[in-house]
């Protein structure tokens, strides 16, 4: 089987089984990642590799986790979270006392739990909505469990660690009060429909392997999903160069606001 035919068939099989369309991702990077994994498992073709893991639940789950790059930590890029806490959320709260927030591509839950802690500190008596979505079911289960190691929580202040976690040895478990503030759902950003009416959408370090076309389409859909005055918060390497073409106004670096 030719390499191109092998790759195309692999993409078809993956899309049928998972809904993940690799045509929306940068081909070179994804092929490199998957080839590394195949080589480790001594497979010569993409299809042979797929067939070997298709019916092995654990192997397939590990593959999807590897593919969807679940690297996350609390308060990732702390200086940006400081801006979120000091400027962005107060601006949003001035317009609405109850915020509707979406953590898109939430991975292991560090991002939505970081948000929940900030909001609990800022508005102790309010219950905001935090929707957290990811493509990977296994990762969502880890997020719901809310158990982390020291490295994942290294950016959390000592006071928040003691306030919002049960600490046993090197395991940090998010308290039920914070867990109860997050609504987890499986969602494919490139395929599924979006809710609307969000005050804040976070999509950080998720689109790294998307094609430029897929990114553009995604950011336009985020724009439509925000309320007027709502804000999109992206990762530190993901500045949206054509943000004005999409309709966003300049706000802060890596924060884009939908005009009122």
Contact 210, 24 (CB under 8 A): yes
Contact 65, 139 (CB under 8 A): yes
Distance separating alpha carbons of residues 260 and 257, to the nearest angstrom? 9
pLDDT of residue 154: 84
Domain extents in the chain: 3-67, 78-257
pLDDT of residue 79: 83
Asked: is 78-257 a CATH 3.40.50.150 domain? The reply is yes
Average pLDDT, consecutive stretches of 10 residues, N- to C-terminus, the chain (260 residues):
82 84 82 85 89 86 72 72 94 96 94 96 95 92 93 87 92 96 95 97 87 93 98 89 95 95
Sort strands 129-134 and 182-186 into parallel, antiparallel or unpaired: parallel
pLDDT of residue 19: 76
**Global confidence as pTM:** 0.80
pLDDT of residue 232: 98
Which strands form 165-168's sheet, in the order they lie side by side?
147-148, 171-174, 165-168
Is residue 33 exposed (0-12), middle (13-18) or buried (19+ Cβ within 10 Å)?
middle
pLDDT of residue 193: 96
222-259 burial string, b = 16+ CB within 10 Å, else e?
Answer: bbebbbebbbbbbbeebebeebeebebeebeebbbbbe
C-alpha torsion angle, residues 233, 231, 203, 215 (rounded to 10): -100
Per the DSSP assignment, residues forming a β-bridge with 40 are: none
58-97 burial string, b = 16+ CB within 10 Å, else e?
Answer: eebbebbbebbebebbbbbbeebbebbbeebbeebbeeee
């Amino acid at each position: 089987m030719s390499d191109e035919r092998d790759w195309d068939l692999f993409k078809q099989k993956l899309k049928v089984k998972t809904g993940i369309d690799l045509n929306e991702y940068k081909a070179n990077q994804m092929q490199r990642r998957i080839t590394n994994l195949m080589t480790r498992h001594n497979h010569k073709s993409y299809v042979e590799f797929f067939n070997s893991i298709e019916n092995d639940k654990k192997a397939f789950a590990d593959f999807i986790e590897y593919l969807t790059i679940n690297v996350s930590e609390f308060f990732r890029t702390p200086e940006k979270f400081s801006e979120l806490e000091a400027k962005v959320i107060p601006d949003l709260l001035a317009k609405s006392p109850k915020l509707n927030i979406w953590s898109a591509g939430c991975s292991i839950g560090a991002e939505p739990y970081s948000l929940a802690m900030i909001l609990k500190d800022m508005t102790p008596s309010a219950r905001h909505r935090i929707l957290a979505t990811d493509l990977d079911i296994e990762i969502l289960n880890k997020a719901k469990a809310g158990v982390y190691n020291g490295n994942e929580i290294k950016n959390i202040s000592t006071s928040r660690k003691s306030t919002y976690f049960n600490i046993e040895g090197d395991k940090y478990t998010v308290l039920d009060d914070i867990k109860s503030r997050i609504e987890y759902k499986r969602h494919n950003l490139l395929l599924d429909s979006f809710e609307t009416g969000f005050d804040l959408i976070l999509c950080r370090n998720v689109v790294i392997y998307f094609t430029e076309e897929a990114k553009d389409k995604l950011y336009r859909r985020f724009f439509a999903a925000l309320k007027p005055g709502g804000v999109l918060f992206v990762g530190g390497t993901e500045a949206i160069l054509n943000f004005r073409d999409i309709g966003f106004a300049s706000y802060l670096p890596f924060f884009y606001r939908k005009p009122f």
